């Protein structure tokens, strides 16, 4: 009896509420007199329903109310549509009504000019509620439009911040997990691909936001992203959206570490590269991710290298995009005479090659992988091909990356080295770079000569082409990154007795002494290299004056001061660095500097 009485009271209360509070507002809405009045009436209606605790499905005349609201939906006014969408969503509609209102929200949010009115309303709250509560399979289409509206909102910094604060990241990852649980044989699988695309695009926007990155770097988030990528391998749009998230986040060490721990990520990336080889926007991002994974981590290099066909996949990609770039270059040259526009720099094919060569360069840092790649003729052949058909002016970054990779590979003195087989041809290609305007290209070329000049035929080439003059000139740069490799080449040249005289003739002794004076205790490695060069050079010394010329006395004073037990402590305050420097000074610099000083003193007449 009490229950029935309560229901009657509720009905009477609601009937009163409807007649006194709601009906007058509905009459205002039915007039459709002007947009401003309609917007005010909608605001009043929402506030009244909220105050009367009549939002959701509680209102018994809810159907009448919804009919009135839906009659206004076709009026062409985004501010009015926004207010209508918010009330309809607050009334917890479902079925076709839910689809209709989500389409309305999507239409409002896709227009950038509506950002201000959207961020000053609470539409986001109701859309997030739809995502949180609605059935994935039953309301799939409505969720696609709902997610699409949220994706457009994520382009606004204020709304993006609001999303993060309201737990949108966790909500979206939970939704992704639900989608991942629906397997390929399921009826809904393909339909949910559209929802996943919108979801991934939203996560990509959120990934730009620092507080989000930490949440996306946990192993659970990385795992769901990889599962989604694996399940949707044939869906190019879904793959691209997910790869864009991984690509963005892979620039950060914590995420990179979490991704590297996902054991299947390497085989997954290789499968996608093989499946979508000509899809540049997907390929370029995957090779960028692989470049980040292999940049600092030997374990990642090993894992990737050990995957079946990993290097063959990279070589095949290299060949494909080299040919695409070559064709694009040919077409451009054909069009050039007809007044067509310049090629975009870098071109799409060049962009893939830049990032792909970076992966090869990173892999070659690992000793056993580097040795294997140095003997891989297809890999070395393609790297050399880049130097043959590309100039620094065409695409500086591509050429420099290719030279860096060749430099890494030229370090390995292995049997059947493809680099060694082509070393004279590589030296010819590097010669062009030495005279380029790009100092970065010059430095990389000099580094390669540092490795190649361990072979007598390259030393002969350097003397024949007078490259040694260039190396001596570089010592004037006052830049450690330039002086160190240049000095390395000069050291290798002094191995041959018949090639030593040039150092004095070309003023090289004076420049080496200046370098020793400039860098001294600040760089014991370079100082050691200079002393080794001077030691080799002076092997057949008869007189210090004839050997070192006017620089003899300066060199004697300089070596004595650098061999002082206290000198190496002056240049750094960091204890670890000091300890490291002392060790290098004692083990490497001191022995050769002492021998050199002793040699000069014993052949020096006062």
493 with 393, same domain?
A: no
| pLDDT, tens digit, 9 for 90 and up, residues 90-106 | 999 999 999 999 999 99
In angstroms, the CA 474 to CA 490 distance is 11
| pLDDT, tens digit, 9 for 90 and up, residues 424-454 | 999 999 999 999 999 999 999 999 999 999 9
Q: Can you give the pLDDT at residue 51?
A: 86
Of 465, 488, 513, which residue constitutes the final position of a domain?
465
In angstroms, the CA 88 to CA 137 distance is 22
Distances (CA, A) of 123 to 56, 59, 106: 15, 21, 11
In angstroms, the CA 25 to CA 31 distance is 10
110, 147 Cβ separation under 8 angstroms: no
In angstroms, the CA 321 to CA 283 distance is 10
Q: What are the helix and strand counts (H, E) for the chain? A: 37, 0
In angstroms, the CA 30 to CA 54 distance is 21
299 with 440, same domain?
A: yes
- The answer to whether residue 555 sits within a structural domain is yes
- The answer to whether residue 228 sits within a structural domain is no
Direct distance between the N- and C-terminal alpha carbons of the chain, in angstroms, rounded to an integer: 125
In angstroms, the CA 188 to CA 141 distance is 11
pLDDT above 90 for 137: no
pLDDT above 90 for 330: no
281, 272 Cβ separation under 8 angstroms: no
| pLDDT, tens digit, 9 for 90 and up, residues 282-324 | 999 999 999 999 998 899 999 999 999 999 999 999 999 999 9
494 with 519, same domain?
A: yes
451 with 481, same domain?
A: no
- Give me the phi and psi of 151, to 5 degrees please: -60, -45
321 with 431, same domain?
A: yes
- The answer to whether residue 212 sits within a structural domain is no
533, 512 Cβ separation under 8 angstroms: yes
460 with 551, same domain?
A: no
481 with 521, same domain?
A: yes
300 with 443, same domain?
A: yes
395 with 518, same domain?
A: no
**Chain-wide mean pLDDT for the chain?**
90
549 with 582, same domain?
A: yes
pLDDT above 90 for 340: no
- Which tokens in the block code for residue 141? 């289409």
Total of domains in the chain: 2
327 with 359, same domain?
A: yes
Of 430, 465, 500, which residue constitutes the final position of a domain?
465
pTM for this predicted structure: 0.88
480 with 582, same domain?
A: yes
| Residue range 17-27: mean pLDDT, rounded | 88
Q: By CB neighbour count within 10 A (0-12 exposed, 13-18 middle, 19+ buried), where does 392 fall? A: buried
Q: Name residues whose C-beta falls within 8 Å of residue 271's C-beta, 6 or more positions apart in sequence.
A: 233
> By mean pLDDT, which of 122-136, 178-192, 393-407, 517-531 is the weakest?
178-192
- The answer to whether residue 521 sits within a structural domain is yes
Of 417, 432, 465, which residue constitutes the final position of a domain?
465
- Which tokens in the block code for residue 193? 């691909």
In angstroms, the CA 444 to CA 436 distance is 12
Q: How many residues does the chain have?
A: 606
- Specify the CATH number for the domain of residue 444: 1.25.10.10
| Residue range 517-531: mean pLDDT, rounded | 92
Quote the domain boundaries for residue 270: 263-333+345-465
Q: By CB neighbour count within 10 A (0-12 exposed, 13-18 middle, 19+ buried), where does 522 fall? A: middle
């Amino acid at each position: 009896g009490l229950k029935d009485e309560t229901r009657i009271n509720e009905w009477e209360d609601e009937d009163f509420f409807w007649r006194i509070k709601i009906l007058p507002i509905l009459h205002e809405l039915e007039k459709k007199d002007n947009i401003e009045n309609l917007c005010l009436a909608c605001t009043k209606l929402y506030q009244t329903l909220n105050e009367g605790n009549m939002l959701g499905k509680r209102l018994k005349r809810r159907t009448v109310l919804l009919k009135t609201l839906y009659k206004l939906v076709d009026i062409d006014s985004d501010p009015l549509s926004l207010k209508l969408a918010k009330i309809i969503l607050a009334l917890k509609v479902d079925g076709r009504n839910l689809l209709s209102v989500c389409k309305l929200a999507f239409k409002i949010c896709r227009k950038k000019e509506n950002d201000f009115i959207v961020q000053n309303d609470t539409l986001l709250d109701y859309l997030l509620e739809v995502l949180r509560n609605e059935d994935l399979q039953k309301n799939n289409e409505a969720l696609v439009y709902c997610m699409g509206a949220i994706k457009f909102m994520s382009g606004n910094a204020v709304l993006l911040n609001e999303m993060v604060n309201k737990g949108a990241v966790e909500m979206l990852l939970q939704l992704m997990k639900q989608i991942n649980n629906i397997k390929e044989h399921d009826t809904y699988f393909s339909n949910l691909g559209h929802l996943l695309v919108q979801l991934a695009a939203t996560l990509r926007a959120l990934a730009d936001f620092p507080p989000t990155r930490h949440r996306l770097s946990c192993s659970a988030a990385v795992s769901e992203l990889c599962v989604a990528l694996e399940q949707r391998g044939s869906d190019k749009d879904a793959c691209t959206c997910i790869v864009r998230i991984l690509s963005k986040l892979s620039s950060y060490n914590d995420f990179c570490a979490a991704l590297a721990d996902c054991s299947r990520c390497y085989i997954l990336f290789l499968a996608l590269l093989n499946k979508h080889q000509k899809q540049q926007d997907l390929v370029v991002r995957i090779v960028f991710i692989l470049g980040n994974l292999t940049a600092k981590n030997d374990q990642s290099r090993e894992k990737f290298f050990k995957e079946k066909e990993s290097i063959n996949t990279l070589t095949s990609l290299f060949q494909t995009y080299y040919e695409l770039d070559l064709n694009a270059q040919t077409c451009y040259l054909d069009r050039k005479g007809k007044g067509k526009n310049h090629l975009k720099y870098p071109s799409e094919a060049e962009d893939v090659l830049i990032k792909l060569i970076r992966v090869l360069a990173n892999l070659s840092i690992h000793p056993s992988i580097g040795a294997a790649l140095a003997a891989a003729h297809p890999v070395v052949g393609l790297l050399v091909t880049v130097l043959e058909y590309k100039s620094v002016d065409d695409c500086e970054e591509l050429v420099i990356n290719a030279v860096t990779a060749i430099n890494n590979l030229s370090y390995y003195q292995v049997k059947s080295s493809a680099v060694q087989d082509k070393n004279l041809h590589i030296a010819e290609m590097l010669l062009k770079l030495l005279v380029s305007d790009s100092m970065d290209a010059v430095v990389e070329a000099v580094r390669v000569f540092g490795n190649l000049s361990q072979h007598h035929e390259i030393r002969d080439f350097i003397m024949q082409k007078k490259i040694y003059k260039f190396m001596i000139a570089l010592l004037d740069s006052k830049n450690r990154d330039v002086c160190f490799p240049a000095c390395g080449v000069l050291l290798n040249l002094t191995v041959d007795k018949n090639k030593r005289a040039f150092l004095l003739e070309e003023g090289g002794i004076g420049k080496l002494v200046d370098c020793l004076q400039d860098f001294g205790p600040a760089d014991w490695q370079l100082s050691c290299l200079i002393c080794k060069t001077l030691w080799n050079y002076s092997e057949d010394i008869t007189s210090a004056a004839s050997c070192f010329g006017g620089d003899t006395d300066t060199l004697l004073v300089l070596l004595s001061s650098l061999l002082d037990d206290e000198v190496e402590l002056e240049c750094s305050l960091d204890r670890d660095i000091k300890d490291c420097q002392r060790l290098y000074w004692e083990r490497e610099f001191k022995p050769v500097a002492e021998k050199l000083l002793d040699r000069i003193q014993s052949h020096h007449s006062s």
